[in-house]
Amino acid sequence: MKKLLLLLVLLAFQVVAFAQQGTVVESLSMKSDLLNRDVKYSIYLPPGYDDSQRDYPVLYLLHGFSDDETGWIQFGEVNRIADEAIDSGSCSPMIIVMPDAKVTWYCNDYQGKDPYENMFIKEFIPFIESQYRIRSKKEFRAVAGLSMGGYGALMYAMKYNDLFSSCVALSSGTFTDKEIVDMPDKNYTMFFGNIFGKNLEGQARISKNWIEHSPLHLAKDIPAEKLRSVRYYIDCGDDDFLYKGNSALHVLLRDLKIPHEYRVRDGAHSWTYWRTGLPAGLKFISESFHR
């Protein structure tokens, strides 16, 4: 009996010891002509990347408000979660790219001074996919994010539905028009003033730039057949303050007959919620990479 137990322990040790790990490089940079500054990014390269010649699918993973390109690594433990998912077979080996967006909401600002969205689509994606062995087709490209990054992921997937095969939005910063109209001036100025218009009150906040970026407006304004070309996964906790916008988006997509997955789990707006939600998100994305 003791020999059998010892053998099992040794086998378990070997499984752990030989489980491959991906490589993480933090805070690299790309020079942006559109922004006239460097854009930082971190990257996860899957196990075996350095030893192979194959090209990989790619996930652009977006951070939340006030975070940066290191957030998903330092707090989200994305490298550990991806390693475990790949090792278990629930997730395809993929490259994960995490850009720094500061507090841009991944949008072009209303004054045209900080066109982050244009940079991401026209400069950042082409740069990344020229520097790494990436399968540069819609079917092998996904976008995901948390909070502000979930908003950005939905916005990019809807507006640029020719670029992305799937989208995972965790606790996305999706607000209804009413929430924006009724938001205290201090909060609106802090979170949205520089992006959608300063010193706006009431209905004036539903500006042209707001409408052109809000997932709730995009879902209504973009032809349904184009939206249906992307697979959507929306996940927001039952105690999250962003429940109204996320549930409203779910209802709208249902009414418009846009297929999507919608999850409400126990939890609030926290890294614990996002860490525990990421494995299912990676599995969902991987299903899009398969035929």
Would you place residue 16 in the very low, low, confident or very high pLDDT band (cuts 50, 70, 90)?
A: very low
Per-residue confidence (pLDDT) for residue 19, from 0 to 100? 66
Instruction: Please state whether beta strands 23-32 and 37-45 pair in parallel, antiparallel, or not at all (unpaired).
Output: antiparallel
d(CA 86, CA 92): 6
Would you place residue 252 in the very low, low, confident or very high pLDDT band (cuts 50, 70, 90)?
A: very high
Per-residue confidence (pLDDT) for residue 258, from 0 to 100? 98
**Res 8 pLDDT > 70:** no
Reported as a single tens digit per residue, the pLDDT across 34-64 is 999 999 999 999 999 999 999 999 999 999 9
Secondary-structure percent of the chain, ordered helix, strand, coil, rounded to 5: 45, 20, 35
Reported as a single tens digit per residue, the pLDDT across 74-107 is 999 999 999 999 999 999 999 999 999 999 999 9
* H or E element in which residue 45 lies: strand 37-45
**Res 15 pLDDT > 50:** no
SS3 223: coil
Q: Are 105 and 197 in contact (CB under 8 A)?
A: no
Mean pLDDT of the chain: 94
